[in-house]
Structure 1
Amino acid sequence: MIPDTVLAELRAALGDRLSTTDAERAVHGRNEAYHPEARPDAVAWPETTGEVSRILRACHGAGVPVTAYGAASSLEGQHLAVRGGLCLDMSRMGRLLSVRAEDLCCTVQPGLTRKRLNEELRATGLFFPVDPGADASLGGMAATRASGTTAVRYGTIRDNVLALEVVLADGTVIRTGSAARKSSTGYDLTHLMIGSEGTLGIITELTLRLHGVPEAVTAATCRFPDVASAVDCVILTIQSGLPVARIELLDQNMVRGFNLHSDAGLPELPHLFLEFHGTAAGVAEQADGFAAIAKEFGAEGMAFATRTEDRSALWAMRHDAHYASLALGGNRRIWATDVCVPISRLAEAVVWAQDEAARLGLTSTIVGHVGDGNFHCGVSLSPEDRDEVARVHDFTHRLAEQALALGGTISGEHGIGLGKRDMMAAEHGTALGAMRAIKAALDPKGILNPGKLLPEEA
């Protein structure tokens, strides 16, 4: 519970932008994935960095847990207040603060979503490329080190954040990085904060790298006789240096889910969805080069789309993969998990995941940003069925172990949150000690997003 003295101080600062109603607490305690509801004791909506600083000073003094909340689109429960305390809803800090077109960068508040940012940038001829599918908040994307469909060409959020403003646990405001493209000064605090999942500080401002809108864009789809052929096609495409902007794998179960959810009418075989960016001549050359490679692996039904509305419909369907997985699983809950492996081991990892899900009698879809070795499994389950839950947990644990055995990582995109804390030691070993030391230095009372990312010490 939050002490009355702290609630009084917060009310004095925020007025009606502090709520303790059951309705608001319930809304902020939900998630898209399989995690149980976790309600905060109160919800606050700050509008300035100064307010965030004042809130954290008050909470730090009383040891009140604080959990940042963006668009609530995370799949590992990063935004859930599992130990109660205060939920810090950043949605009212959603402004585009400045655009420096000549420097290809902009500065935003954390509650701005990626779609809104690109709408506001439309007249500049620039865009922000990181696309995790959901219309996530940019602060949340940075906090969880988001990736997405365009990472194979434009990189992840890590590659597209130049500077941050962050409020530390005690209310201290710091700035990291600058609008310069590189620096050789001091510790890289910007990238320390990226992926820290709100456990080291609250991001209140971001300076982002922008890119020019390409002259021409073409999307493509094709199908393959089996997943291994599709993945081997991806591997050769990447190794050949073909500059694809997007290259997404969908296994046959995922395609079946799209047919159920979106009436897609696709043959229920593994597919690749792709996109090429560049000049008109360059895009045509890329498309021809890919078609030649795909033919070697038995691809059929190659189709291209150049009209904006056709491309938008294709990627909207892809971004609805979570809901398509729900449809395939009879609208039960989805346990979403992801791993990332070296590109040379990708086919082995994907086929292993398919075979293991079948062995355990589970309904699972596979969709992935396979150009960078990352793929996702959406496993259906009934939370009331203890045996099924145990089998899903076994699958996700074994998949993470398999990724590590292949030289990869337990998550390339979803992050750790609640769901993968028990695997952190397996991946990081004694480096966990250094992580705990950083956490203790920046958040000595452990108030920032407790119960996430780092496992409890034995």
Structure 2
Amino acid sequence: MSALPLSLSEVLSKRFGDRYSISQALREQHGRGESHHTPAIPDAVVFAENTQEVADIVRLCAAESVPVIAFGAGTSLEGHLTAVRGGISIDLSRMAKITRISSEDLDCTVEAGVTREQLNTHLRDMGLFFPIDPGANASIGGMTATRASGTNAVRYGTMRENVLGLTVVLPNGQIIRTGGRARKSSAGYDLTRLFVGSEGTLGIITEVTLRLYGIPETISAALCSFESVEQAVAAAIQVVQLGIPVARMELMDRGLIKAVNAYSNLSLKLEDTLAFEFHGSPAGVQEQVEMVAAIVAENDGRDFEWANAAEERNRLWKARHSAFYAVVSQRENAKGWSSDVCVPVSELSGCILKTRELLKDCSVPAAILGHVGDGNYHVVFAVDPNNRQELDEVASINKKMVQYAISVGGTSTGEHGVGTGKIAYLRAEHGDAVDLMAVIKNAIDPAGIMNPGKVLPN
């Protein structure tokens, strides 16, 4: 039974008909993401179909001080979707229009519910693509809200660099537009960057204007293996320091290779592995490949193998993107606990070795993977969500990994976001700046209805 004020429930039901639901199954679906975090279900779900509808829902909820949580594709990993104080989940998945594309200006505007794969399928025949690739087929709105990045970030940057402008519904229901299509501006505060990465705590993003890129003339991929993770990371650091413009550079430790082989029916060598992708002209790609191959050889890498055919590349990256599920599949009824940190590249080797030491006696399946070109790496655990001892063990490992990353100038999360899972580390990372974040939050959302319980400590 819904705990919403009866008047609000009646108004929403009348206004949205069967797009308003208090179904237990639907509410449970909207109260969790992909990972181990304990679900907390909303009191109701509303499917919005345009920005004005989102504004209407928010305005009605604000009048009753009812929390609102934006929902896209449900792929978040740090508890962003849990309705810790109940309220309304606003599902934006039906807001899936690609409203404008400019091939000349290399930009487009999309509604928040458009997914990454949907956008790239639409762009392909125009010779364009959007490069931010977090792995999951996430919604563009959710990727913007969490400041997502992924495997291509070493060359193309993160959502922060690729969002030009936004349409946002504020906590009072007001609709604002930030940024624009110009590639630079000195006018006013950079409100676009304020909302990129705000995780739905300042407003609900309903439209996003994005940078686009031409599909490279030549795309090539390569794999190589190493006897130790130290050698693999040393090679990756050299590639970065020499400024070789690789498009992707991914580390997969041997534990992950084993899981991926079983899950994706591959036969990769069971060693610590680097996977590369190169974009450019035929001559440019050839030069990049030769330089990287030489660096790999200097660091005792072996079996530097090309994967030029699109089918081979797609199979490789599909397997890499399935890493989370590959690790989890090693146990029946397990849930994934995925944590990430990001450190200066010079500190990456030490951090990964420290993490490997922490995992040495871990009682649950775990693997290390990372976008090592920008210092970002992940650990995925397969945990029994009902086993308190296991959860405490993994929480302790996660805490030590995050604390060490912060101690060497890194961050508690490179791309997953804070959600509920990383709140405890925010002050250690940002110090008194957290107080300014709270001032901004309270100024924009004085009633605290926007995705409460996320990002900021109470």
Measure the CA separation in 2 of the matches of 1:201 and 1:187.
17
- Paired position in structure 2 for 1:175: 177
Measure the CA separation in 1 of the matches of 2:294 and 2:47.
53
Q: CA deviation at 1:173?
A: 0.5
- Paired position in structure 1 for 2:116: 114
Q: Which amino acid aligns with 1:335?
A: W
1:21 equivalent among 20, 23, 27: 23
2:171–2:445 CA contact under 8 A, matched in 1: yes
Measure the CA separation in 2 of the matches of 1:226 and 1:327.
25
- Paired position in structure 2 for 1:46: 48
Measure the CA separation in 2 of the matches of 1:331 and 1:246.
32
- Paired position in structure 1 for 2:399: 397
**1:365 and 2:367 correspond:** yes
- Paired position in structure 2 for 1:439: 441
Q: CA deviation at 1:31?
A: 2.4
- Paired position in structure 2 for 1:87: 89
**1:212 and 2:214 correspond:** yes
Q: CA deviation at 1:400?
A: 0.6
3-state SS in 1 of match to 2:11: helix
Q: CA deviation at 1:12?
A: 2.7
Q: How does 1:44-193 map to 2 (within 5 A)?
A: 44-193=46-195
3-state SS in 2 of match to 1:67: strand
**TM-score of the pair, normalised by structure 1:** 0.98
Q: CA deviation at 1:133?
A: 0.3
Q: CA deviation at 1:84?
A: 1.1
1:357–1:363 CA contact under 8 A, matched in 2: no
Unmatched runs of 5 consecutive residues or more in structure 2: none
- Paired position in structure 2 for 1:227: 229
Unmatched runs of 5 consecutive residues or more in structure 1: none
Q: Deviation per CA, 1:55-101: give whole Å up to 9, x if none.
A: 11100010001000011111001122121110000001011000011
3-state SS in 1 of match to 2:406: helix
3-state SS in 1 of match to 2:210: strand
3-state SS in 1 of match to 2:166: strand
2:333–2:384 CA contact under 8 A, matched in 1: no
Q: CA deviation at 1:360?
A: 4.5
Q: CA deviation at 1:6?
A: 0.9
Q: CA deviation at 1:30?
A: 3.1
- Paired position in structure 2 for 1:253: 255
Q: Deviation per CA, 1:212-253: give whole Å up to 9, x if none.
A: 110000011010010000000000001011110000000111
3-state SS in 2 of match to 1:266: coil
Q: Which amino acid aligns with 1:149?
A: T
**1:281 and 2:315 correspond:** no
- Paired position in structure 2 for 1:409: 411
- Paired position in structure 2 for 1:418: 420
Identity over the aligned pairs, expressed in percent? 49
2:390 equivalent among 388, 391, 411: 388
Matched pairs, number: 456
Q: CA deviation at 1:263?
A: 2.1
Measure the CA separation in 1 of the matches of 2:101 and 2:321.
28
- Where does structure 1 differ by over 6 angstroms across 4 or more consecutive aligned residues? none
Q: CA RMSD in A?
A: 1.0
Q: Which amino acid aligns with 2:26?
A: E
**TM-score of the pair, normalised by structure 2:** 0.98
- Compare 378-387 and 289-298 and name the one that shifted more: 378-387
Q: Which amino acid aligns with 2:123?
A: L
